[in-house]
Structure 1
Amino acid sequence: MSERLIFGQVLGFAGDPFAEGPGAARHERRGAVLVRDGRIAAVGPADDLRAAHPGVAAVEYGEALICAGFVDAHAHYPQTAMIASWGKRLIDWLNSYTFPEEMKFGDPAYVAEIAARYFDLTLSNGTTTACSFCTIHPESVEAFFAEAQVRGVRAVAGKTCMDRNAPEGLRDTATRAYDESRALLEEWHGVDRLSYAITPRFSPTSTPEQLEALGALWAEHPDCPMQTHLSEQVDEVAWVAELFPDARDYLDTYERFGLLRPGGMYGHAIHLTARERARLTEVGAAVVHCPTSNTFIGSGLFDMAGLVRGGPRIGLATDTGGGSSFSMLRTMAAAYEIGQLNGAALHPAELLWLATQGSARALRMEDRIGNLAAGMEADLVVLDLASTPAIAQRAARAEDLWEAIFPTIMMGDDRAVQAVWVGGEPVAIPDG
C-alpha cells in the first residue's frame, strides 16, 4: 500500500458555487490530503490528519494552494504546433492552418512527437485530464492514447470524422468513419484511464450519411462520450442552415441522427436558439466554453449567466490551437473577461469550479476527477500564489482567500504551477 500526506492550503468543493455561492468551497488554511494507492483517502486539517496517520510519509508545500488538477474539456492536440496562427476567422482558419497541419498526422513519427509535446505542455500548466479531437488518421488516436497511458493521465479522445468540405487527404466515408471509430473504441475505451469519444468534427464536414453512421455507433456504445462543435460563429450557423435546409436549427443536425443525448459535449455553443438551449438542458448534454478561442477567432461571447440558470452542464476548455494558450489559468482569466463584457463577473470560486468540477461534470466524470474529496482519483495541482513579483505584491494585500487566489487566475501561467500529481504520484513538470 502506497500512502502519502500532502500539506499546504487545501481547496475543494462541497457544492456548485454558481448555485450556492463561494460558500460551496471548502478551504483549509493549513490542510492536508491523504493519498492512498492513487486515490484521495482523506482531506482535512493538517494536524488532524497528521495525528491520525503518524507514520505516513509527508510532502510539504507550505503556503501553496492544493486543488484538483485542471480538466480541459475540449482541445485539438493536432493543432499544438500551429497555435497562435494569425488573422483568420473559423472557416478560413481551418483551411489555411488546421487542415494543412492535420494532413501530417498519418506519419507515426510526427504524431508521436506532437502527442509527447502536447502532454509536456498541458502537464506543465497543471492540466491532468484532457479531452481532445484527433485527426481522421487512426494513428493520431493511437499516439495520443499511448502517450497518455505512459504518463498515467486520464484522457478522452476520438478519431475526427469528415467526409465533405475538407481536403481530399482529410476525408473518410460514412462506412470508414464507423469502422475505424469502432475499432479504436474497442481497442482503447475503458483501458486504464482512457475513454473513447465518438467525434464528428461538426455538421458542415459530415454528410447526413456519416452523421447517421456515427449516431448508430453511439447507440451501440452508449457509455462512450460524443464530442463535436455547435454554433461557434454566425456565418457557420448560416452555412449549416444551407447544408441542412430541413433542420430546425444547428442542434437538430445532430439530434435527427441520434447525436444528442447524455454524454454529448458541444464545443462553443455561443449562438444558440431558445429551442437549442431547452433541448440541451432537457437531455442532460454539456456545452463547453472556450473563451480564448472565442475571442482569438472572433466568434462571440458565451452566455455563461444565461446558461447556468437551469441550463446544461458547462465545461471550460482551452480549445488549443484555436485557443491561444495551453493554460487553464489563462482560460479562467479569459472567461472572467468575457463575463465582464456580458455584464456578469464570475467569482474566483466559480472560475476554479469550472476548470475542475464543472469540466469533470461535462465529461460525466465528476465522481472520479475534478475535486478534492475522499474516493476521488488523486490528480492534484499545487499553485504558488506568489509566483511572480506582480502577483506576489497583489496577493500580499489580500484580505481573504479569494483576493489571494484571483491574481493568480488573472496573471498566472506555468510559473504558478509548483507541482502536479497524477494518479497519486508526483510528476516531473516539463519545461514549458
Structure 2
Amino acid sequence: MSTVPPTTVQAYRASLLHFHADPAFNPDACLWHEDGLLIVADGKVSAAGDYAQLFPTLPAGALVIDYRGKVIMPGFIDTHLHFPQTDMIASPAPGLLPWLETYTFPTERQFGDPAHAREVADFFLDELLRCGTTTAMVYCTVHRESVDAFFEASAARNLRMAAGKVLMDRNCPEFLRDTAESGARDSEDLIKKWHNKGRAMYAITPRFAPTSTEAQLRMTGELAAAYPDTFIQTHVSENADECSWVKSLFPDARSYLDVYDHYGLMRERAMFGHCIWLDDRDFERMAETGSAAAICPTSNFFLGSGLFDFEKADAARVSLSLATDVGAGTSFSMLQTMNEAYKVARLKGSYLPAARMFYLATLGAARSMQLEGTIGSFVAGAEADFIVLDPKATPLLARRTERCNNLEELLFALALLGDDRCVGATYAAGRKVHERASTTQA
C-alpha cells in the first residue's frame, strides 16, 4: 500500500494509451489499457496501467475521477509553430515568399508592444490547450518583448514550452531587423532569464538561412555551442523557390541543410521545420547529428510547398514529429494535422498508420526534443501532462467509433474525423487547464 498522503494523489479512470517505441519499427510499441487507471502525485505520473491492478494500491480516500468511455493519453507536442501569426492564420497568398511579405512581416511588427504580445500569447496558449497540445516549440518575433510575453503567459499556466526570439539581420523589413551582435546578445540574455526557469525552455531561433548573414549564423552557432542544452529551431527546404534562393546566397554549401551544418547548428535538440526537399545525404546527416524534423502537412498543402517523404526519412532513421505550423498551418489541432499527414503519405506512395501518427504527436516528439521520460508518455516520474479524448464528441464520430473492431480503427477515426471538439479536458502538471462544457465526470 502506498504511503503517499491521499491529498497529493489523484487517479483517473479511462482507457489509457501511450507508447514506449515507434510503431513503424516495433509492432508492440503501443501500450493500451481498455479499463485503465492513471495515478498522479505532485504533478507527475506515479503509475499507469490496468484499473483492477492499480486501484487497490491507492491510499485510502484518494479521489478517482471517472472518464470511462473516453481515452486518456499524453498531451500532444507541437514542434513547430509561430504564436505571432495567430491573427493572420488563413491569409491568402500565391506562395511562401509573397505570404511573408504581405502578411507575416507586417503582423509581427506589432510585437514590440508588450501588452499586444501578451494578449496574443494568452489567446494562443488557450487555443493550444483547447486542442490538447500541452508542449510546443514556438517562434516569437525579433522583439525581446515577444519572448517575455510568451513565457510569462506560459508560466501562468505552468506549461512546458520552448520558445525563442527570431534572429534576422537581412532580407527582411528594417522594422524587424536586428544585427548579428544584438541578436546574439539579446538571445543570451533571454537564455539566462528563461531557460530551465520553471517549465520554460529556450530555443535559439534563426528564422531561416536567407534572413541571416554569415556573421549572424556564425554567432548563432557559437551561442548554441555555449548553451548545449538549449534548443535550436529554424526552417529548411520548405519551398522550391526558397531552396533556389538559398543556393544563390550560399553557393559553396552542398545543400540548404549544409548551410546550418557549416555553422554548428546541427546537434541534438535542433528542430528543423519542413524538410521537404532534402536529399539522402541530408537525411543521413540529420540522423548522425541527432537533429530532428518537424513535419508540417497543413502549411505545406496551404502554401503548395511539397510533400514530406516519410520513407526516405525512415530509411535514415531520422527523429520525426508532427507540427501545425500556425499561421501557414490552418489549424491548431494535432488531430487535423494527423489527417493531413496521412494524406501526404498516401500521395507519396506510402502509408501512415494511425498508431504511428499518435506516436509522432507524443513520444516521437518528446524523443525528437530529447525529452523522453519528461513528457510524451506515462512512465513513472514523467510530468503529468495529459488529455481526455472523447470518441463520441460528434454524431459522426460516435457512429463510426461504435463500429470500430480494434484500437487501430479507433485511432484512425479520431485522426481522420476528430478536431478540438474531441478534447474533453487538458491537464498540465496534474492540474486541469481546459475542459469542454459537454464533458461530464462521475
> Which TM-score band (shorter chain)?
over 0.9
Aligned to 2:35: 30
SS of alignment partner, residue 111 of structure 2: helix
- Is residue 355–residue 411 contact of structure 2 (8 Å, CA) maintained in 1? no
Q: Supply the AA of the counterpart residue of 2:81.
A: A
Q: Given the alignment, which residue of 161, 165, 175 partners 1:159?
A: 165
Q: Residue 174 of structure 1 is aligned with which of 154, 174, 180?
A: 180
Q: SS at 2:405's partner residue?
A: coil
CA distance in 2, matches of 1:29, 1:367: 23
One-letter amino acid matched to 2:365: S
Structure 1 match to 2:440: none
Bigger Cα displacement from structure 2, 260-269 vs 347-356: 260-269
Shift of 1:430: 7.5
Task: Map 1:352-371; keep pairs closer than 5 Å.
Answer: 352-371=358-377
Farther off after superposition, 208-217 or 397-406: 397-406
Cα distance in 2 between the residues matched to 1:363 and 1:88: 33
Structure 2 length-normalised TM: 0.96
Match of 1:297 in 2: 303
Query: Does the alignment pair 1:398 with 2:409?
Result: no
Amino acid paired to 1:34: I
2:424 to 415, 418, 425: 418
Q: Is the 8 A contact 2:283 2:316 kept in 1?
A: no
Tell me the CA shift for residue 304 of structure 1.
1.1
Letter in 2 for 1:313: S
Matched, 1:267 2:273: yes
Q: Show the counterpart of 2:317.
A: 311
**Following the alignment from structure 1 to structure 2, what is the Cα–Cα distance between the partners of residues 107 and 52?**
52
CA distance in 2, matches of 1:85, 1:372: 38
Q: Matches of 2:323 and 2:114 in 1, distance apart?
A: 27
The answer to whether 1:387 aligns with 2:400 is no
SS at structure 2 position matched to 1:197: strand
CA distance in 1: counterparts of 2:252 and 2:423, whole angstroms: 49
* Percent of pairs with identical residues: 45
After superposition, the CA RMSD in angstroms is: 1.1
Give the conservation status (yes or no) of the 8 Å contact 1:32–1:44.
yes
* Aligned-partner Cα distance in 2 for 1:45–1:31: 4
**What CA distance in whole angstroms lies between the structure 1 residues aligned with 2:31 and 2:285?**
33
- The alpha-carbon deviation at position 363 of structure 1 amounts to 1.2
CA deviations on 1:122-159 (whole Å, 9 max, x unpaired) are 00000000110100000000011001001011000000
Q: Write the distance in 1 (CA, Å) between the matches of 2:433 and 2:200.
A: 18
Matched, 1:332 2:338: yes
Query: 5 Å matches for 1:72-111?
Result: 72-111=78-117
Residue aligning to 1:46: 51
Q: What is the alpha-carbon distance in structure 1 between the residues aligned to residue 286 and residue 322 of structure 2?
A: 17
- Residue aligned with 1:428, SS: strand
Contact 1:270/1:300 (CA < 8 Å) preserved in 2? yes
User: TM-score scaled by structure 1?
Assistant: 0.98
> Per-residue deviation at 1:54?
4.8
Q: Which amino acid aligns with 2:30?
A: A
Unaligned runs of 5+ in 1: none
Match of 1:199 among 187, 191, 205: 205
Corresponding pairs, count: 430
2: distance between equivalents of 1:154 and 1:423?
A: 9
**Structure 2 segments unaligned to the other structure (5+ residues):** 438-442
Check conservation: 1:31, 1:43, Cα contact below 8 A. yes
- Evaluate the alpha carbon distance shift between residue 205 and residue 357 of structure 1 in structure 2; reply closer, same or farther with a 3 A threshold: same
Give, in whole Å, the separation in 1 of the partners of 2:434 and 2:292. Answer: 33
Whichever residue aligns with residue 33 of structure 2, its letter is: E
- Contact kept? 2:321, 2:361, Cα under 8 Å: yes
Equivalent residues in 2 for 1:2-17, closer than 5 Å: 2-17=8-23
Structure 1 equivalent of residue 250 of structure 2: 244
Kept in 2: contact 1:263–1:285 (CA 8 A): yes
Q: Secondary structure at the match of 1:320?
A: coil
Taking the aligned partners of 1:28 and 1:374, their CA distance within structure 2 comes to 16
C-alpha displacement of 1:180: 0.2
- C-alpha separation between the residues in 2 aligned to 1:336 and 1:206? 34
Q: 1:346 aligns with which of 328, 349, 352?
A: 352
Shift of 1:88: 2.8
Q: Give the CA deviation at 1:411.
A: 1.3
Deviations 1:35-76 (A, max 9, x none): 011110001111221111152111110110000000000110
